[in-house]
Homo-oligomer: A and B are copies of this chain.
Amino acid sequence: MSSSRKVVELFYDVVSPYSWLGFEILCRYKTVWNIELQLRPAFLGGVIKESGNSSAALVPNKLLYARSDLKRLSQYFSVLLCFPENFHNAYAKGSLSAMRFLTAVSEKQNSGDVMIERVSREIWKRMWSADQDITLPASFSEAGLKAGLSATEVEELLQLSKCQLVKDRLKLTTEEAVKHMAFGFPLIVCHVDGKAETFFGSDRFEVMAHCIGEKWLGPQPDEQTAKI
């Protein structure tokens, strides 16, 4: 069965709230559409730099709009997302260590994407629901434990996240995203008939569904499929 499933890659960074929306929608649809969802933790700072883009956070109207847009989308998509009180401070701290930790989780996992999905969600919840730190080892420990990892596993992952192997892997994934035309996140790459169809942002699901021969059922597909 897996050979007939279309591969959909999600390149994301937990510092990006739009990435969280895209992540939750794709996690909901992975059991509705005939797709194999591959979660690809990458580094937004690297993408911004490599692509020559400038951060959206530097344009006051973009930031004002994002606050209003994300408030609406949070309700519409049912993802409990609120801006950190001191967003600029939280954003300036960056996400390099968080994305290295997630890359370590991704390297270690051997049973599909279950744990990378859970840990990513817990880190997003820290920054984008609870206004908590996502830069310190203690923060990753707490997120890992909540996601269902043991204390020993968390400790191993913290060590692994400092290894060159993991640093290089994150760099490679980020470069791969840039080759797929990334200038920000989320970037969703759908492999259709040997061709890569790339979608930026969390606002192309209807067109994406059309591209992969599936149907967009809105942000709550389970409720919709229950009705059919």
A201 contacts B203, C-beta separation under 8 Å: yes
Contact with B along A186-206 (1 / 0, CB 8 A): 000000000001111101101
Count contacts on A: residues with CB < 8 A to the other chain: 32
Nearest CB of chain B from residue A110's CB, rounded to whole Å: 34
Nearest CB of chain B from residue A44's CB, rounded to whole Å: 14
Does A108 make an interface contact (CB < 8 A)? no
A181 contacts B76, C-beta separation under 8 Å: no
Q: What residue of chain B has the Cβ atom nearest to residue A205's Cβ?
A: B206
B61 contacts A183, C-beta separation under 8 Å: yes
How far, in angstroms, from A179 to B113 measured CA to CA in the complex?
44
B61 contacts A181, C-beta separation under 8 Å: yes
Does A93 make an interface contact (CB < 8 A)? no
A183 contacts B76, C-beta separation under 8 Å: no
B65 contacts A59, C-beta separation under 8 Å: no
How far, in angstroms, from A124 to B69 measured CA to CA in the complex?
28
Interface residues in A46-91 (C-beta closer than 8 Å to B): 51-54, 58-62, 64-65, 68-69, 72-73, 76
Interface residues in A201-228 (C-beta closer than 8 Å to B): 201, 203-204, 206-207, 210-211, 218
Does A147 make an interface contact (CB < 8 A)? no
Q: Which of B60, B69, B178, B200 contacts A69 (CB 8 A)?
A: B200
Question: Contacts of A99 on B, CB cut-off 8 Å?
Answer: none
Does A98 make an interface contact (CB < 8 A)? no
Question: Contacts of A61 on B, CB cut-off 8 Å?
Answer: 51-53, 178, 181-183
Question: Contacts of A201 on B, CB cut-off 8 Å?
Answer: 203
How far, in angstroms, from A204 to B211 measured CA to CA in the complex?
19
B54 contacts A54, C-beta separation under 8 Å: yes
Q: What residue of chain B has the Cβ atom nearest to residue A58's Cβ?
A: B52
Question: Contacts of A199 on B, CB cut-off 8 Å?
Answer: 69
A interface with B by C-beta (< 8 Å): 51-54, 58-62, 64-65, 68-69, 72-73, 76, 178, 181-183, 197-201, 203-204, 206-207, 210-211, 218
